[in-house]
Structures are given as structure tokens and as C-alpha cells.
Amino acid sequence: MADLLEQKCIPCTGSLPPASQEEINTYKPQIPEWDIISEQGELHLQRVYKFPNFKTALTFTNLVGAAAEAEGHHPSLLTEWGQVTVTWWTHAIKGLHQNDFIMAAKSDRLAKSLKLD
């Protein structure tokens, strides 16, 4: 199984198929704390990260935003006092793509980089 953290996002147009159930089953174990949710019939990855205060939540939001810009793949981010909800999905295909799993894994790594024990 390829390590999601070692991969880069590929440009995704509406012509690419969504991730198959087999692909989802392969990638999901690498991001066990993420939920697969359905929003308006589209599958999304979602995780709520907890932080000790708003400043740390905002720092994390900015780190995820910078990573998203670098990869050309952008999430929905909801920043609140003490938490950030991150939702990844591929708008062009109205569902999940390998890119979403890559960025979920990278989001986890960014949260760990804040060393919040």
C-alpha cells in the first residue's frame, strides 16, 4: 500500500472517476480518525481537530491552507474556538478522489507538528 504522505495531488478534472470502494478501503486505514460522510449525495472526508485555544486553531487552519495551495487541492475549513473541522472532497467529480486521502493524511501530520500533548 502506497504511503499517502509520500504522494502528491494530481490535477483532477471532471473526467476522472471518483475513488472506488476498493480504493477507499485501501486508503482509509491510513487516516483512521477521519469520517466518511455524505453531503447532498457526495462522499466527503471529515475530521474535527481539537485545540487548546483559538490561536492554535487558527495556526492549524493557516497551515492546512498553505498545504492546500501548495498541492492545488482545497478543503472546507471551519475554524472555531478550540477546534477546526476539515472537510476534503473533490468538487470536480462530486466525491472522493485519492487526492482527498493524501490531503487528509497531510492534515494529520500538520496537526501533529503543533505538538499538542
Domain ranges of the chain: 20-106
Of 94, 102, 113, 39, nearest to 68 by C-alpha is 102
CATH code, residues 20-106: 3.30.1360.20
Of 113, 99, 81, nearest to 31 by C-alpha is 99
Are residues 75 and 85 in contact, defined by beta-carbon separation less than 8 angstroms? no
Q: What is this structure's pTM?
A: 0.92
Are residues 70 and 19 in contact, defined by beta-carbon separation less than 8 angstroms? no
Matching residue, cell 471529515: 46
Q: What is the pLDDT along the chain (117 residues), one digit of tens a residue?
A: 468 878 787 777 777 889 999 999 999 999 999 999 999 999 999 999 999 999 999 999 999 999 999 998 999 999 999 999 999 999 889 899 999 999 999 999 999 998 765
Backbone angles phi and psi of 83, in degrees to 5 = -160, 155
